[in-house]
Structure 1
Amino acid sequence: MSYPFSARGQRSWLWAAAVCALPCAAPSALGATVVTLPRVDISTAQEDASLADSLLSASTVDKASARMSRLSSPDAASLFRNQPGFSSYGGGRLANLPVLNGMADDRVATVVDGVRINPACPNHMNPALSYIDPDSVESATSVAGLTSVSNGGDSLGGTIDVERADPRFARHGKILFTGRARGTYRSNGGGYSAAGSMTVANDTFSLRYNASYDQSGDYSGGGGIGQVGSTEYLRYTHDVTLGVHKKNHLLTLTFGQQDAPREGFANQYMDMTNNRSTYVNGKYVGDFDWGTLEARGHWQRVIHAMNMLDDKGGHTATKGMPMNDDQRSVGYSVKATIPLGHQHTLRLGSSFDHEGLKDWWPPLKGSSMMGPGTFNNINNGHRDRLGHFAEWEAQWTPRVSTLLGLRNDLVMMNTGNVSPYSSMGMMGMSNADATAAKDFNARSHGRTDVNFDVTALTRWKATDSLTIEAGYARKSRAPNLYERYAWGKGAMASTMIGWFGDGNGYVGNPDLKSEVGNTASVTFDWHDPSLAQRWGLKVQPYYTYVHNYINVNLNPKPMGMNVNQNQYTFANHNAQMYGINSSAHYTVWNTSRYGKGEVTGVLNWVRGQDKVTHTGLYQQMPLNGTLGLNETVGPWTGRVEMNFVKAKSTVDSLRNEPHTPGYALLNMNGSYNWKMMTLTAGIDNVFNQPYYMPLGGILTSDIKTGRMPMPGMGRSFNVSLAATF
């Protein structure tokens, strides 16, 4: 794969753009015909947010929290780190997978600019949130638990929704020229980032260019753990957005490309050695006499490669293990919002998503085990989902409203015949793969899942300070391509499959059924009845029972696996999850002299159980919480927070999930804003505490001698300078 610019050239250009953008703020440099104007927002939001878009189980990341999250990490998943019900896992520092109420990855509907992006990798190294840099995110919302059918299907745990900003336009007869630039340095790993954006617009047309660059070496664990190998990364992104605004209509087109030439994964046997995404997204929003119409379309191609970076043995022609993926995605979604009088609203929608995937592993020169032919893992597989929904919202009284939604998703999957490296049966492991390929090719591969979702909930404003929202949801999810079609049964082939970071091997099951989750939840929202909103407390208990939960059955251990590894086949079990999410805030002081001081807190607890194996479910976060103090005095904003995580004692013993000790981390950060510039600085893990990530899996480099949990990052001094004009 060739690149139009080298990584060093990209880095130099982006840093130069960030520096050069600062003097552009001077009005004299813009010319007499260019006028900087306030933003003109084009919005279809109602005066009062609809029930479907303002569920009490939803949490929106505020701008102050987003700024601090961007300081600590270039991963968009970090924006949600202090949201109720949210956790994440993954060995790559740009590619953490979201978890909501104990359900992870594919069980969460992750939407970026209205698009569901499926990982194009057997290890899920390129999840949806890795395709957008945090600086480009304008809004970030998580819905843990009950989700309206209009906000997505083919998921169980909830919805993660991030959006870029809509285009900005000038007032009639004027020209708008505006932009931003940011540079960030993180001491742990020697990481740095740069991002910039420029917009030029009149009252009808808007053109915006975004660019970002992120790089870091391996980080060091806390408390003298030392450097954690395979945790480096490099990524750069470009996108251009064209907006057209005419009266009550807005059309937006975004063209972009992202390259990640390398990203280490300490809890996988492979690292990512290239990931190029090229995409086009379109959105139309229009207001009509009958209501509002929103239509979206997208196309994306992902070229993905894995091998071993240098600290795992290199990826030369005679070392490592090359693995390639080529994915093409295309789809549309249409949603109509139709008011039926003053008290009722009807939403109708349709969507289609196509995922085409080819996953092949080229032969390795000089290897008798990885050759002489190509290992075809997923051979021109596809997963097509056609969905329709209807949703009715009613405001029966000023204090009582209801939401009822029905959804159907038709998921059609198929793949071609496959082949191992060799059909000669050399060295035992290849023989297992040759037999598995023959068995796989002898059966039909096409599968169709017909899924139905229902969401019904009621919101009751019991008093001016108490709102109660209760409901039930039936949600469904069809298996992904790897859960169904990963066929290799040899030790090496199966350990290349799996996004759990546990060092084990996984085999697909074409006969898997769709998961069906039944969730009952109630949210109590106590709050200050005055406009000051000085205090608030939200508590959400929930219970979910999942029929046909996709878990695993233990296989006989194949030749080549050591005592610390096992092989599993994906299988349908029944499972249950229950827990409580809670969040609170309280204004301690609010004076002209000392500014505003606010205490915030989040506490999450979840417990999952497999009803067949009677073990805990894999990757369930133990009791955890965050206690923070925010202060704002004029241009100064500061935050001190303590993150608490209880010891992980409830584990999935079938998969040898490791226990992890409890820990507490202190983080501090602050920012100062003057004129058009903002300086932000902070310290993560102030006391350099050693800790292990409860959902981080294990260090695969240690698999021969043990199953050491993934160490967390030690102390890091971070600083960022941003400018707008």
Structure 2
Amino acid sequence: MNRKNSFIHRLGLCFSIVLGQSFMAAPTYSQALSTDSIHREASLSEVTVTSVVGTKRKVAGKGRTASIEEHLLQLGNVSMVRRGNYAWEPVVNSMATERVSTTIDGMKIFYACTDKMDPVTSYVESGNLQRIRLDSGLDGNPQATGNIGGSIDLKLRKAGFDAKSHAYNATMGYEANGHLQVYGADAAFSTDKFYSNVGAFYRHADNYKAGGHEEVNFSQFQKVNAFLNLGWQPVENHIIEGTVIFDRATDVGYPALTMDVSDATGFISSLSYRREQLHGLFYRWETKAYYNHITHNMDDTQRPDVVIHMDMPGRSSTTGLYSLLQGSRANHQYQLNYDAYYNTLFADMTMYVKGAKPMYMLTWPDVGTLSQGLALTDDIQLAPHHTIHLSAKGAWQYRRINDDEGFRALSIYFPGMERTASDLTGRVALSYAYRYNGWKLAVGTGYGSRTPSVTEAYGYFLNNTFDRYDYIGNPHLKHERAFELNGSLAWASETVEASLEANAFFFQNYIIGTPDERLSPMTIGAEGVKVYCNLNNAQIVNAAAVVNWQFSDWLSWHNRLTYSYGKENTGARLPMIAPLTYQGALKLFWRNFESEAGVQAVARNSHYGSKYGETSMAGYAIWHFNIGGHFQIGTVGTDIHLGAENLFDRHYSTYSDWNHIPQKGRNIYFNLSFQL
């Protein structure tokens, strides 16, 4: 306990935050950094974000009743691993949680479930988000660490100063498939000295039905989310801000797994100071201190025919800070960021065998992680048509197994292992862009490393229902390293946007679980035991082609074709790599109305990771349609949207649906929102 307290003491907390945003913003995608071919930001407001062209009109969708996962799926480099109808795991550039950094307003948060049933994105709500920032590959945001695949930062909604004095929103949504109900309300208040955002959202869903009216048992969930964002400006250009988020999900079913979740609760808080209009090398300084605590309880009491009942709770606590300086000089726009955090992860399992004493086991042995990092970015305008973007970060990490029992258990399999470990990691990325007469050419490269996750280094007999193996961490793992190449070519006119983009990652010491036939599994029915190890090398390649036509002010056609490829040093295919996918949509605008008809067509997954338990998946085509409108009645704005997903009730699963659980069949949805 004294060691843990000393870790926290070494952090030395301060204050900070992000510039307040307007209460309502038009939903768009944009290239946020001109030199990065695949760095995007999406603004969230009333509708599902989507690419726009020509007249920049917005497109109908679920809006703020949509889940965070549905918003993320609108970003081109993102897909989802789905274990149920709730809390999908984001995948960026064909890489999952271990290789992706996810933050909320720059705050590091770590999930508390050994089965990744509670990704960071599950603890926020669309109504409290202003933007989603996606950085592709090794060019991460300043607070990101270990982001080989990319980084996601969820920017919270801030009313800001001198905005509309008061604004109110009420939202409700209903989906027929699974009887999903969404209710939300929020309010914003603003003066030249003070602002606040406060709101709450509630979601409830029963079991949904797959195509052909097949009920998917244990796919229900309910959650409540409440948030408060405050800002105070006691003196001009000196700003103090605070955030509190409470999120609780209960009775969450996971049809792809053998257990459900009785309770997943997150508490997220921050206090920050920001100084504007500085003189000299830097014009802005912001510093934020934060604390968050996550608890997660897996439960199998609602499942029939349970051979051995188990309790599997987990918890995660993180205390941290970051301090960001922004400046400009001549043709340079630069940022300097220091961040630090201390996190503890603890999970255990109790098995209740009939006629015997309960069996207890630690699955995460109370691992404490102290991390500090220094990041620098610089955007350089070489000439009117030539720009360079440079980013780099170095980080130091210290870990300790705090639980004696957990340390002794792992030592049986790794004699002589150390209780503590310290590591240096880093990343550097460089990109160049040329723009001329509607054309843009961008090329980039990067190199970086990451330390093993707590699961990869210290996990203890964690059952993976995907390949039916128990997994043991390996404290002797080397750093995983990756070299990235990326490029894009784009052309745009008043009516057409077209682009080609690709990236390739070449790994050394790629971390993945491999069978160890000397060990016996603890889970009934498990195929065996896998231990995490380093493969000599692996490769992942992603490519996309996009063509958008704006036929007129009221009609546009959007098309995107993507392909991904992944293999390791033996030639075996890596799992969870997307097959060839086409997405197309016709979008219609007329006065205050908007509609969309589209399709997603996916080829058969013929190149799959059979070595890692993956099987082939059939191709499919899924159609959708929606229509919506905005009406102003006096001072009250009203948005109405109606839509249908999987129009022809196709029964299908995607490559990333855990254990091939089927997707929703035909789903009719309706949402209504009011703004005052």
Q: What's the TM-score once normalised by structure 1's chain length?
A: 0.82
Match of 2:606? 649
1: distance between equivalents of 2:342 and 2:408?
30
* Maintained 8 Å contact 2:345/2:367: yes
The one of 503, 526, 530 aligned to 1:542 = 503
1:249–1:668 CA distance, 2 compared to 1 (3 A): farther
In structure 2, the residue corresponding to 1:135 is in which secondary structure? helix
Q: How does 1:344-493 map to 2 (within 5 A)?
A: 344-362=332-350, 364=352, 366=354, 368=356, 371-372=357-358, 374-417=360-403, 419=405, 438-439=412-413, 443-461=417-435, 463-488=436-461
Shift of 1:167: 2.5
The one of 691, 695, 698 aligned to 2:656 = 695
2: distance between equivalents of 1:631 and 1:367?
66
In structure 2, the residue corresponding to 1:719 is in which secondary structure? strand
Q: Partner letter of residue 548 of structure 1?
A: N
| Alignment partner of 1:517 is 2:505 | no
Q: Partner letter of residue 654 of structure 1?
A: K
Shift of 1:306: 0.6
| Alignment partner of 1:59 is 2:40 | yes
Shift of 1:106: 2.3
1: distance between equivalents of 2:627 and 2:66?
18
2: distance between equivalents of 1:54 and 1:68?
30
* Maintained 8 Å contact 2:470/2:523: no
Match of 2:532? 570
In structure 2, the residue corresponding to 1:333 is in which secondary structure? strand
1:149–1:195 CA distance, 2 compared to 1 (3 A): closer
* Maintained 8 Å contact 1:69/1:79: no
2: distance between equivalents of 1:406 and 1:652?
33
Shift of 1:505: 2.0
Shift of 1:161: 2.2
Shift of 1:313: 5.2
2: distance between equivalents of 1:273 and 1:437?
32
* Maintained 8 Å contact 2:605/2:655: yes
Alpha-carbon displacement from aligned partner over 1:550-588 (angstroms, at most 9, x marks no partner): 112112273677887343111111111112123232101
* Maintained 8 Å contact 1:690/1:712: yes
Match of 1:81? 73
In structure 2, the residue corresponding to 1:374 is in which secondary structure? strand
* Maintained 8 Å contact 1:42/1:250: no
Alpha-carbon displacement from aligned partner over 1:512-571 (angstroms, at most 9, x marks no partner): 12211110111112111xxxx432112112211011111121122736778873431111
1:443–1:515 CA distance, 2 compared to 1 (3 A): closer
The one of 247, 263, 267 aligned to 2:256 = 267
Tell which deviates more after alignment, 686-695 or 108-117.
108-117
1: distance between equivalents of 2:64 and 2:22?
30
1: distance between equivalents of 2:547 and 2:138?
20
2: distance between equivalents of 1:584 and 1:153?
33
Q: How does 1:656-675 map to 2 (within 5 A)?
A: 656-675=613-632
Shift of 1:685: 0.3
**Structure 2 residues without counterparts, runs of 5 or longer:** 1-19, 25-29, 50-58
* Maintained 8 Å contact 2:586/2:597: yes
Higher normalized strand content (fraction of residues): 2
Match of 1:597? 555
2: distance between equivalents of 1:179 and 1:72?
14
Q: Partner letter of residue 322 of structure 2?
A: S
1: distance between equivalents of 2:226 and 2:34?
30
1: distance between equivalents of 2:358 and 2:411?
16
In structure 1, the residue corresponding to 2:224 is in which secondary structure? strand
Percent identity over the alignment?
A: 18
Shift of 1:239: 1.3
> What's the Cα RMSD here?
2.7
Match of 2:136? 144
Shift of 1:280: 0.6
Alpha-carbon displacement from aligned partner over 1:322-341 (angstroms, at most 9, x marks no partner): 11112211111111112122
Shift of 1:210: 1.2
In structure 1, the residue corresponding to 2:512 is in which secondary structure? strand
Alpha-carbon displacement from aligned partner over 1:616-649 (angstroms, at most 9, x marks no partner): 1111111112101111111111111101111111
Match of 2:177? 188
Tell which deviates more after alignment, 226-235 or 144-153.
144-153
Q: Partner letter of residue 597 of structure 2?
A: V
1:204–1:365 CA distance, 2 compared to 1 (3 A): farther
Match of 2:6? none
Shift of 1:254: 0.8
The one of 226, 232, 240 aligned to 1:238 = 226
* Maintained 8 Å contact 2:35/2:389: no
Q: How many residues align?
A: 631
Match of 2:288? 296
2: distance between equivalents of 1:454 and 1:80?
26
2: distance between equivalents of 1:59 and 1:372?
50
The one of 533, 546, 550 aligned to 1:587 = 550
Q: Partner letter of residue 627 of structure 1?
A: G
1:352–1:535 CA distance, 2 compared to 1 (3 A): same
Shift of 1:364: 3.0
* Maintained 8 Å contact 1:151/1:159: no
Q: Partner letter of residue 724 of structure 1?
A: Q
Match of 1:26? none
The one of 323, 337, 341 aligned to 1:334 = 323
Alpha-carbon displacement from aligned partner over 1:321-368 (angstroms, at most 9, x marks no partner): 111112211111111112122x12332111112211221224537463
Match of 2:90? 98
* Maintained 8 Å contact 1:149/1:454: no
Q: Partner letter of residue 126 of structure 1?
A: D
1:569–1:75 CA distance, 2 compared to 1 (3 A): farther
Tell which deviates more after alignment, 320-329 or 148-157.
148-157
1:560–1:598 CA distance, 2 compared to 1 (3 A): same
**Structure 1 residues without counterparts, runs of 5 or longer:** 1-38, 44-48, 421-432, 489-493, 591-595, 699-708
Shift of 1:445: 2.6
2: distance between equivalents of 1:338 and 1:457?
20
* Maintained 8 Å contact 2:140/2:150: no
* Maintained 8 Å contact 1:275/1:304: yes
Shift of 1:216: 0.6
2: distance between equivalents of 1:186 and 1:72?
14
1: distance between equivalents of 2:208 and 2:504?
38
In structure 1, the residue corresponding to 2:142 is in which secondary structure? helix
Match of 2:583? 626
| Alignment partner of 1:200 is 2:189 | yes
2: distance between equivalents of 1:133 and 1:82?
16
